[in-house]
Amino acid sequence: MVWLGGPRRRNGARGLGGGLFLNDPPPGYRPPRRRTPEKVRQRVLRQDWILEHVLAVVLAVSVLAVAVIIVLMLATRH
């Protein structure tokens, strides 16, 4: 049973007679996402922050390595 739209009471319960009830969801229907707890959001943000910084360091080191290789190739060329 899928409930689409309609008024709600203050406590979040569905109002009587309001909205649309369907036995089967329409094609492409995705139920609304529930809010994730604050702890989970903070953990995900912290993991993303760490990943960004690790990737930035790896990228900087790889660019430096390529630059050193190019300089060595130019220096050893006759």
Tens digit of pLDDT per residue, the chain (78 long)? 666 666 556 665 555 555 667 778 778 887 778 888 999 999 999 999 999 999 999 999 999 999 999 999 999 986
Buried/exposed code over 39-49 (b: 16+ C-beta within 10 A; e: otherwise): eeeeeeeeeee
Residues 20 and 46 reside in one and the same domain: no
Instruction: Identify whether residues 50 and 74 lie together within a single domain.
Output: yes
Domain of residue 6, residue span = 1-32
How many independent structural domains does the chain possess? 2
pTM of the entire predicted model: 0.53
Same domain, residue pair 25 and 41: no
Query: How far apart (Å, rounded) are the C-alpha atoms in residues 46 and 52?
Result: 10
Same domain, 8 and 42: no
Which of 37, 30, 33 has the alpha carbon at shortest distance from 2? 30
